[in-house]
Structure formats: C-alpha cells, structure tokens
C-alpha cells in the first residue's frame, strides 16, 4: 500500500474495497445463499437455477439483460422475508464460512489503513446486509451495497436505487465522499475485476488485488500497483487460468448435484449433509 501524502486530516482519506475475490475468496452471496438453503429458505430449484446462471456468467460474461433477470428473480425469491432473520443468517455464515475465506493479505491492508486513521468502506454489488456483516467483523467504517426495499421489517421485492455495479460503484463512492467530506485524490480503492475499474479510477491511489485478465491489463497500462494474494502454483499464470476453469466446472457440478439430490429425495434415497459438504470441500481444494 502506498502511504498517503502526510498524516494530517487522515479522517478525510478513505480506502474503498470490493468484496468478492478482493477480500473474500469466491462469491460471498453464494455462501449466504447456501446458508439460507441449509436453513430451509431456498428450494433446490432456486439454487440450481442461480448456479446455472452463475456458470453462464463465468463462461460467456455478463449482459445487461442477464443482470436484470437475475436481479428480478432474486428479489422475487426474498419478497416477504424478514430482514432481521436475513441479518442473523449473515452473521452465522460469516462465522461458519466467510471468516475462513478472508485473504490475509487484504486484511493486512485494511488493518494498515485503520492504523493510519483512514475510513475503510466495503463497496459490493451483493446485498448491503452482507457487506455490513463483513465490514463490522473486519472493523471497517461501513459498507455500500445493493439495497433491497423493506416495509415493516420485511423485503418488498423491490430495490432502493440501482444495482451497485460498475459505474454505479463509482457514483456511490463519489456521493459518499461528498457526504463524508472525503478527499478522493488522496484516497484508495481496491478491486479484482475490470468491473471495479470505474471505482478505481475515481480515487488517486487505485490498486488491483487478485485481478482478472482485463483488470490486470488495465492496471499495467495505467501503472497501478497489483497485489496477488491467491495461492500461486509454479506456473502462476497457468494456475490462475486453471482455477477459473475449475470454478466454472464447480458451478456446473453444483447444478448437476442439486438436480441429482432432488431426484434422490423424490426417490426416497437419503444422503447426509456431511457427505454433500465433503464432496464440495474436495472441489474447493482444487481451486
């Protein structure tokens, strides 16, 4: 991390962190969804559908239509749920899964910013509830995320504002800077994806962490520092490609296993949760 010029007025300096694959290995929302499914909130076909959409996203990239469809379907699923229960599940899943998936290198950067008196904000396209749980546990100032509308403590199935993605992240950072009187020229931003590019460009000290191919290229062109905290193999470049392909296969297998598990359930063939988790753990180790 490059230190900000001078140490006076440190509170006007902020560090903005993307979450998935920047702070947390993998998709935090997936782990929350898995925790909800284990507690009976999701049906197997919901998990299978979202797994398939994630596999398509990994293989073919995103489109505006795909993001809109996923947003609408996700909001439809949570309509009527208790926000308090969702927050409680987030706390439990953090203890069970997310805490173990925090990149130590990124955690060290967060701690250094905190030691300098900087504000630390997480900025994620995932539900803001997830970001707030992670922010609180890491001692960050707060979190910005996609906000689902609530009425009487329950989700209505609508969004407040926009899906926090790409340029919307940068807009949210600028708005926060205005509200908190932050100096963006002295501030920092960290992300792993080219989708974080607008947020990184909004500050004076951008840094790519575990960057995807497009962000790595952009960072090299702009002269931005690059940090790599993923476990590297002897051939690091090949290792990253292999991990991406394995992740795609894993997402596909999750769909197949969801369908197969449902068939087993209908046929009356039981299978313990421990066996399922052991199977997923084996896949995770290959990433």
Residue 58 and residue 245 in contact, taking contact as beta carbons nearer than 8 Å: no
Copy the structure tokens of residue 269. Answer: 């063939």
Q: Which of 8, 20, 111, 283 is catalytic?
A: 20
Q: Which residues contact 160 (CB under 8 A, 6 or more apart)?
A: 147, 148, 149
CA distance 105 to 209: 9
CA distance 55 to 250: 9
Residue of 237, 32, 263 lying closest to 134 (CA atoms): 32
Q: What is residue 160's three-state secondary structure? A: strand
Copy the structure tokens of residue 89. Answer: 């599940």
Place of tokens 């439809």: 76
In the DSSP assignment, the letter for residue 195 is G
- Concerning whether 20 is annotated as a catalytic residue, the answer is yes
- Concerning whether 72 is annotated as a catalytic residue, the answer is no
Alpha carbon distances (Å) from 259 to 31, 41, 55, 254, 283: 19, 17, 15, 9, 18
Segment (H or E) for 58:
helix 44-60
Residues labelled as active-site residues: 18, 20
């Amino acid at each position: 991390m490059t230190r900000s010029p001078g140490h006076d007025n440190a509170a006007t300096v902020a560090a903005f962190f993307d979450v998935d694959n920047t702070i947390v290995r993998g998709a935090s929302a997936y782990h929350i969804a898995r925790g909800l499914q284990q507690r009976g909130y999701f049906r197997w076909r919901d998990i299978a559908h979202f797994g398939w959409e994630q596999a398509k996203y990994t293989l073919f990239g995103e489109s505006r239509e795909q993001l809109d469809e996923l947003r609408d379907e996700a909001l439809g699923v949570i309509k009527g749920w208790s926000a308090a229960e969702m927050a409680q599940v987030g706390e439990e899943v953090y203890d069970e899964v997310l805490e173990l998936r925090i990149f130590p290198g990124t955690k060290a950067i967060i701690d250094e910013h905190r030691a300098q008196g900087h504000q630390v904000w997480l900025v994620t396209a995932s539900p803001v509830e997830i970001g707030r749980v992670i922010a609180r546990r890491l001692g960050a100032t707060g979190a910005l995320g996609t906000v689902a509308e609530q009425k009487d403590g329950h989700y209505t199935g609508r969004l407040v504002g926009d899906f926090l993605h790409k340029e919307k992240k940068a807009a949210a950072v600028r708005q926060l800077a205005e509200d908190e009187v932050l100096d963006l020229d002295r501030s920092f931003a960290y992300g792993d994806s080219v989708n974080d590019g607008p947020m990184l460009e909004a500050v004076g000290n951008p840094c790519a962490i575990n960057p995807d191919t497009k962000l790595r290229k952009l960072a090299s062109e702009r002269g931005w520092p690059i940090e790599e905290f993923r476990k590297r193999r002897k051939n690091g470049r090949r290792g990253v490609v292999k991990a991406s392909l394995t992740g795609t296969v894993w997402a596909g297998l999750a769909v197949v296993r969801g369908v197969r598990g449902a068939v087993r359930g209908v046929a009356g063939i039981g299978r313990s949760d421990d066996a399922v988790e052991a199977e997923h753990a084996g896949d995770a180790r290959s990433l």
